[in-house]
């Protein structure tokens, strides 16, 4: 397209030059024809120049703009792992308060080992004074050997309707925490007692501690 416009412009220049030099044939009418062709040649050159400018503008407009750089896809954010569901027995440890203000009992473990079951529980003193045991947890036993012990704690098998007392050794002493020291305010003591094991099909058991509400259906671990 641009070459054609250049060719037309060149022809117009030749006609204009021929007219100026008076080389155009038909000399009798040279002046009149020269004026006419001069005007046409000038108009042709102006038109060619305008078309050339428009062609250049169109050509520039058709140049493809550089493609924008592709936006990188954001890295996928891994979904947070769901918190595992707590299994049986993974809930908060059972606690309760009883007849002694500021004293809290928390069951820590009921574990079966062979033909026995071991109970562990904590006694927390949140009162403003010392807490002593004496005969408070002996359930009526006034034996000197039971003083300061937890011989009055029992396990209750509700399935078979049987109560298990703390086991005793050959000398009659309880197989449990004995001679328990006074618990100062803000302190705790972890106590234990051993019992005869219920049948293997018993998976839960209740714990009764004197002066406190019973703990129902405590899981037995292995």
| pLDDT tens per residue, range 101-150 | 999 999 999 999 999 999 999 999 999 999 999 999 998 888 888 999 99
The pLDDT of residue 22 is above 60: no
Token pair recorded at residue 89: 């027995």
* pLDDT band at residue 93 under the 50/70/90 scheme: confident
| 134: region left, alpha or beta (phi > 0 left; psi from -120 to 50 alpha) | left
The pLDDT of residue 216 is above 90: yes
The verdict on domain 95-219 having CATH code 1.25.40 is no
Give the per-residue pLDDT at 167: 97
Give the per-residue pLDDT at 86: 46
Selection from 30, 28, 9 nearest residue 20 by Cα: 30
Q: Rounded mean pLDDT of the chain?
A: 79
């Amino acid at each position: 397209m641009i070459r054609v416009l250049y060719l037309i412009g060149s022809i117009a220049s030749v006609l204009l030059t021929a007219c100026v030099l008076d080389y155009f044939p038909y000399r009798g009418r040279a002046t009149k024809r020269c004026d006419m062709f001069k005007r046409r040649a000038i108009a042709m050159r102006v038109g060619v120049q305008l078309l050339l400018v428009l062609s250049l503008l169109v050509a520039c407009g058709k140049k493809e703009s550089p493609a924008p750089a592709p936006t990188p896809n954001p890295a996928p954010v891994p979904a947070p792992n769901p918190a595992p569901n707590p299994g049986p027995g993974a809930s908060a440890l059972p606690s309760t308060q009883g007849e002694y203000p500021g004293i809290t009992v928390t069951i820590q473990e009921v574990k079966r080992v062979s033909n026995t079951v071991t109970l562990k529980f904590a006694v927390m003193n949140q009162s403003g004074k010392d807490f002593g045991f004496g005969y408070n947890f002996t359930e009526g036993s006034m034996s000197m050997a039971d003083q300061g012990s937890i011989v009055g704690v029992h396990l209750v098998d509700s399935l078979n309707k049987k109560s298990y007392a703390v086991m005793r050794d050959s000398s009659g002493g309880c197989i449990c925490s004995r001679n328990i020291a006074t618990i100062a305010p803000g302190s705790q003591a972890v106590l234990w007692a051993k019992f005869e094991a219920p049948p293997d099909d018993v998976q839960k058991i209740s714990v009764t501690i004197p002066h406190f509400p019973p703990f129902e259906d405590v899981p037995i671990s292995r």
